[in-house]
Amino acid sequence: MTMPAPIRALRRPAGAIAAGWLLAVIFAALFAPLLTPYAYDVQNLPQAYQPASSTHWLGTDEFGRDLLTRLIYGARTSLSVSATAIAISVACGMTLGAAAAWFGGWLDRIVTMVVDMTWSFPEILIALILVAIIGPGTTGTMIAISVAYLAQFTRLTRAQIMTLKGETFVEAARSLGATNGHILFRHLLPNALAPVLVSAMLATGDAIILEATLGFFGLGAQPPTPSWGGMMSAGSALVFKAPWIIIFPGLAVAITVIAINLYGDALIAALDVRAKVRRTA
């Protein structure tokens, strides 16, 4: 019995280590209230700027709040916003890309034109413009990240569907009277799913960086809700007085993004996605 690709990716040491870190971060984010005795938003000014100790393992911030607690709750914010935004972007991008490739004509031209226009701008610029219009906060950040990565999944899905729709199994399904919707959702999209999902996982790492960047600029989750970017922003002014306030959130972002990329590479090898993309190119 063939093991699923996510399990086969664990055969690589880098993939296994990366998966372990990601599972630990996700577990901490989900069960944050059970893992720490402190509240993330309760200030204790006499304990401000405390270095790491047996009481506060990573020290305290400028308001005396436990830094490890805020780091764990910040993982909940950063991961949920980034993952949800990418999921929305994947769903919308696959729908647009599949419709454009299948129906062609004016719909394909419009979708391609809009996608090419948005892809000509950096993701951070699109996100900053949208957050400025929508307003700061987790909702605005989520929408901005979704739109910023929409072009990537639309183009990838369109390329996959354009190749697959000429295959024999599509002609067979059409000759049996299958509707356009049936062919798209039962035959084409499942066959185009693997490269899109791997791309989505890698894009989640970029989305975490983008969310942290917006948080650093004060446009992400608003205080007292912690996020890794917001914590780094607060620590940037205290880098010489209490460097741990910016170091630990920065390490959390860096290690998590590296882990996503390492596991993504292992998953690509397990799925043989590069070979499939070359065959469909």
pLDDT, tens digit (0-9, with 9 covering 90-100), for 91-133? 999 999 998 988 888 989 999 898 888 878 888 888 999 998 9
Contacts of 236 (CB under 8 A, 6+ apart): 216, 246
Say which CATH number the domain at 224 has: 1.10.3720.10
Per 3-state DSSP, the chain is made up of helix, strand and coil in percentages (nearest 5) of 75, 0, 25
Residue type, 228: W
Distances (CA, A) of 176 to 63, 180, 188: 68, 12, 16
Is 206 inside any structural domain? yes
Lowest mean pLDDT among 32-41, 73-82, 184-193, 240-249: 184-193
- The alpha carbon torsion through 217, 218, 220, 224 (nearest 10 deg) reads 140
Model confidence at 174, pLDDT cuts 50, 70, 90, reads: confident
Give the model's pLDDT for residue 278: 44
Is 235 inside any structural domain? yes
pLDDT digits (tens, 9 = 90+) for 235-268: 998 889 999 999 999 999 999 999 999 998 888 8
Structure-token pair, residue 92: 């919308």
Average pLDDT over residues 199-227: 92
Structure-token pair, residue 114: 């809009």
Are residues 43 and 61 in contact, defined by beta-carbon separation less than 8 angstroms? Answer: no
Model confidence at 274, pLDDT cuts 50, 70, 90, reads: very low
Burial class (CB in 10 A: 0-12, 13-18, 19+), 93: buried
Give the model's pLDDT for residue 237: 87
- Predicted confidence (pLDDT) at residue 229 exceeds the cutoff of 90: yes
Is 130 inside any structural domain? yes
Lowest mean pLDDT among 176-180, 182-186, 269-273: 269-273
Q: In the chain, how many domains are there?
A: 1
Are residues 141 and 131 in contact, defined by beta-carbon separation less than 8 angstroms? Answer: yes
Give the model's pLDDT for residue 143: 93
Range of the domain at 234: 62-269
> What is the C-alpha R_g of the chain?
22
Element (H, E) at 145: helix 138-148
Is 174 inside any structural domain? yes
- Predicted confidence (pLDDT) at residue 277 exceeds the cutoff of 50: no
Structure-token pair, residue 201: 């996982």
- Cα(14)–Cα(261) distance, rounded to whole angstroms? 10
Give the model's pLDDT for residue 280: 42
Phi, psi of 219 (to 5 degrees): -105, -5
Is 106 inside any structural domain? yes
- Cα(59)–Cα(137) distance, rounded to whole angstroms? 27
Residue type, 199: S
Does pTM top 0.85 for this prediction? Answer: yes
**Average of per-residue pLDDT values in the chain:** 88
Q: How many other CB atoms are found less than 10 A from the CB of residue 275?
A: 10
- Predicted confidence (pLDDT) at residue 47 exceeds the cutoff of 70: yes
Q: How far apart are the first and last CA of the chain?
A: 30
Give the model's pLDDT for residue 176: 78
Is 42 inside any structural domain? no
Is 148 inside any structural domain? yes
Structure-token pair, residue 152: 């990537």
Structure-token pair, residue 105: 């004509």
Lowest mean pLDDT among 27-41, 67-81, 100-114, 157-171: 157-171
Q: What percent of the chain has pLDDT over 90?
A: 56
- Predicted confidence (pLDDT) at residue 1 exceeds the cutoff of 80: no
Is 107 inside any structural domain? yes
